[in-house]
Amino acid sequence: MAEMWNVEKEMKKVTNVRLSGDRSAVIIIDQTKLPGREEYLELRTAEEIYDAILRLKVRGAPAIGICAAYGIAVLAGKIQTEDYGEFLMQFRNYKTYLESSRPTAVNLSWALNRMEQTVIKNSALKVEKIKEALFDESYSIQREDVMMCRAISEHGLTLIKDGAGILTHCNAGPLATSGYGTALGPLFLGKERGMNFRVFADETRPLLQGARLTAYELYKGGIDVTLICDNMAGVVMKNGWIDACFVGCDRIAANGDTANKIGTSTVAVLAKHYGIPFYVLGPTSTIDMNCPSGRDIPIELRPEEEIRSKFYKEQMTPAEIPCYNPAFDITDHELISGIVTEHGIAKAPYEESLKKLFL
Ligand code: MRU
């Protein structure tokens, strides 16, 4: 008989982001070194945590939020004062600093706001007790993510049949979350239940999350994965190899417009052309009801060098050629067949269905 799923057991398996045993550091797998090397980093200072997020050593919306939550718990644990006012001031300085590391994934501010609320809610306690409460809260944030990923995987699995062809863009697997992942979660869960899928992973220019991380995770999980360049998505759809597109998300606006890795909206437009359902999978922590539409989502612009030379042996274009490098794009809600969350699958009109998820 299949083993019963247990969240505490799953928590023990999570290695991409965790707290060190003595609670003095956040330990992350350095995603920039994958798939060649599995190296772990211990982040102890605010600068180290900020840098790890900015440079994508830890990436993926939920994983960024979890890293920031553990990070601020670690930093708060080192604040040397017994005075609540002073503690809150130093805590908020760290929060503002960490929040500014990347702008698009709302999980970062969502997690840090939860941590701040923990400080405020416990203001009557001694500072030492508030520090304990912060460690508990950061653990809860990760534990909830494990459960959300599992629930998203269950709901997502209802959308596909054994043998289905799936196209995915960027990386929304265990490395980007805690547990099964979001867009890749149904594939891992289905695999556990004896189902097989044929997955096409876009390489995801310019930083190659699809090639380095998604293809690697799926291959390691025994899933049939084929890597394609981003500009090949249309061909595999036209060939009739794709039954559904599954993508993750960095921020979903109240009207369903979704920010995800650059190139996602192109996949959605192609999917519409070929009559293929296009699903966004993500936890409710990625839904920002304060953002009315995609126009209100801040899009991160990254260094031009990532396009010109990052993964090439030699620079691929003259150094003076200007490059435009938005890290994310917005997929219009009209192109989205459903938004798969831990509470179920929201369908259009999203203004109503997303609101209901929070009731
Ligand atoms: O710039 P990245 O690599 O952090 O972008 C990540 C993505 O776009 C993911 O697809 C998204 O965060 C979903 S994570 C489950």
Q: Which tens digit of pLDDT belongs to each residue from 247-268?
A: 999 999 999 999 999 999 999 9
> What's the CA gap between 127 and 245, in Å, rounded?
48
- Is the beta carbon of 62 within 6 A of some atom in ligand 1? yes
The answer on pLDDT for 1 being more than 60 is no
Q: Is the dihedral of CA 258, 264, 269, 271 positive or negative?
A: negative
Which amino acids are annotated as binding site for substrate, given as ranges? Answer: 59-61, 102, 209, 260-261
Average pLDDT over residues 145-156: 98
Q: CA geometry: angle at 293 spanning 345 and 58, to 5°?
A: 70
Q: Express each pLDDT in 281-338 by its tens digit.
A: 999 999 999 999 999 999 999 999 999 999 999 999 999 999 999 999 999 999 999 9
Half-sphere exposure of 72 (CA within 13 A, CB side): 35
Q: Express each pLDDT in 37-89 by its tens digit.
A: 999 999 999 999 999 999 999 999 999 999 999 999 999 999 999 999 999 99
Which residues on neighbouring strands pair with residue 344, listed in sequence order? 341
Q: What pLDDT is attached to residue 3?
A: 62
- Is the beta carbon of 260 within 6 A of some atom in ligand 1? yes
136 is catalytic: no
Q: Express each pLDDT in 272-286 by its tens digit.
A: 999 999 999 999 999
Query: Exactly one of 51, 224, 243, 250 is catalytic; which is it?
Result: 250
Average model confidence (pLDDT) across the chain:
97
Q: What pLDDT is attached to residue 4?
A: 82
The answer on pLDDT for 192 being more than 70 is yes
Going by alpha carbons, the residue nearest to atom 10 of ligand 1 is 248
Q: Express each pLDDT in 106-148 by its tens digit.
A: 999 999 999 999 999 999 999 999 999 999 999 999 999 999 9
Cis amide prior to 349 (ω within 30 degrees) = yes
> What's the CA gap between 229 and 220, in Å, rounded?
20
Going by alpha carbons, the residue nearest to atom 6 of ligand 1 is 60
> Is residue 185 packed enough to be buried (19+ CB in 10 Å), middle (13-18) or exposed (0-12)?
buried
DSSP state of 348: S
**What is the band of 2 on the pLDDT scale with cuts at 50, 70, 90?**
low
Neighbouring C-beta atoms of residue 303, cutoff 10 Å: 11
Which residues on neighbouring strands pair with residue 252, listed in sequence order? 258, 287
Single-letter amino acid code for the residue at 353? S
- Is the beta carbon of 265 within 6 A of some atom in ligand 1? no
Pocket test for ligand 1, best of 66, 261, 278 (most atoms within 8 A of CB): 261
**What is the band of 5 on the pLDDT scale with cuts at 50, 70, 90?**
confident
